[in-house]
């Protein structure tokens, strides 16, 4: 994939590029279909997320 294509299909800007006509729905669907399945290489990482706690205070662990 070319660098400019990677920027067009970046999940953070897909909707904007579709709306502006810089990216077509068919192109996006093909890109997503062609992505390799890397689910077997996933590594779970656990990190505290104080912003998501009920009281808003950081947890001790």
Residue-range domain boundaries for the chain: 1-34
Query: Low-confidence residues of the chain, pLDDT below 50?
Result: 1
Neighbours of 13 (CB within 10 A): 14
Q: What is the pLDDT of residue 56?
A: 56
Residues 23 and 9: beta-carbon distance below 8 Å: yes
pTM given for the model: 0.59
């Amino acid at each position: 994939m070319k660098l400019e294509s990677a920027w067009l299909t970046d999940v953070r800007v897909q909707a904007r590029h579709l709306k502006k006509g810089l990216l077509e729905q068919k192109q996006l669907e093909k890109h997503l279909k062609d992505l390799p399945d890397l689910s077997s290489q996933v590594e779970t990482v656990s990190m505290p997320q104080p912003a998501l706690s009920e009281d808003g205070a950081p947890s001790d662990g």
